Amino acid sequence: LEFCQKLPKIELHAHLNGSLSPETLTVLNTPIEDIKTYQLLTKLDCIEDQLNLAFTLFKIAHNATNMIESTYLATKHVIEEFHKDNVIYLELRTTPRAEPQMTKRDYVNTIIKAIREQNLITVKLLLSINRGHCLKESEETLNLILEMHELYPDIIKGVDLSGNPNVGIFSEAMFIKARKSGLKITLHCAEVLNNEEVKQMLEFKPDRIGHGTFIHPTYGGSTENWKLCSDLRIPLECCLTSNVLCNTVQSYKEHHMCEWVENNLPFNINTDDKGVFSTTLTKEYFYAAHHLNLSKESLYNCSCIAIDSSFASEEEKLKLKTYLKEWKDKHL
Applying CB under 6 A, which residues contact ligand 5GP? Answer: 15-18, 58, 94-95, 128, 130, 162-163, 165, 188, 191, 242, 272-273
Count other Cβ atoms within 10 Å, centred on residue 98: 15
Q: How far is the CB of 309 from ligand 5GP (least distance, A)?
A: 18
Comparison of 241 and 303: residue with beta carbon closer to ligand 5GP: 241
Q: Is 11 a catalytic residue?
A: no
Q: How far is the CB of 15 from ligand 5GP (least distance, A)?
A: 4
Q: Which residues contact 180 (CB under 8 A, 6 or more apart)?
A: none
SS3 content of the chain, % helix, strand, coil (to 5): 55, 15, 30
Asked whether 102 and 66 are in contact (CB, 8 A), the reply is: yes
Asked whether 111 and 16 are in contact (CB, 8 A), the reply is: yes
Closest CA to 206 of 251, 255, 241, 162: 162
Comparison of 91 and 273: residue with beta carbon closer to ligand 5GP: 273
Comparison of 8 and 18: residue with beta carbon closer to ligand 5GP: 18
Q: How far is the CB of 239 from ligand 5GP (least distance, A)?
A: 7
Q: Which amino acid, 33?
A: E
The distance of Cα 317 from the centroid of its chain, to the nearest Å, equals: 19
Comparison of 146 and 244: residue with beta carbon closer to ligand 5GP: 244
Comparison of 7 and 64: residue with beta carbon closer to ligand 5GP: 64
Eight-state DSSP code of residue 12: E
Q: How far is the CB of 75 from ligand 5GP (least distance, A)?
A: 10
Comparison of 81 and 191: residue with beta carbon closer to ligand 5GP: 191
- Cα angle vertex 225, ends 219, 230, to 5°? 95
**Which neighbouring-strand residues pair with 238?**
269
The distance of Cα 160 from the centroid of its chain, to the nearest Å, equals: 9
> How many CA atoms lie within 13 Å of 1's alpha carbon, on the beta-carbon side?
2
| Active-site hit among 11, 81, 91, 191 | 191
3-state SS class at 42: helix
Asked whether 236 and 273 are in contact (CB, 8 A), the reply is: no
Closest CA to 141 of 150, 153, 128, 152: 128
Q: Which residues contact 282 (CB under 8 A, 6 or more apart)?
A: 1, 4, 5, 9, 85, 86
d(CA 24, CA 1): 24
Comparison of 58 and 267: residue with beta carbon closer to ligand 5GP: 58
Q: How far is the CB of 254 from ligand 5GP (least distance, A)?
A: 18
Q: How far is the CB of 331 from ligand 5GP (least distance, A)?
A: 32
Q: How far is the CB of 159 from ligand 5GP (least distance, A)?
A: 12
Catalytic residues: 191
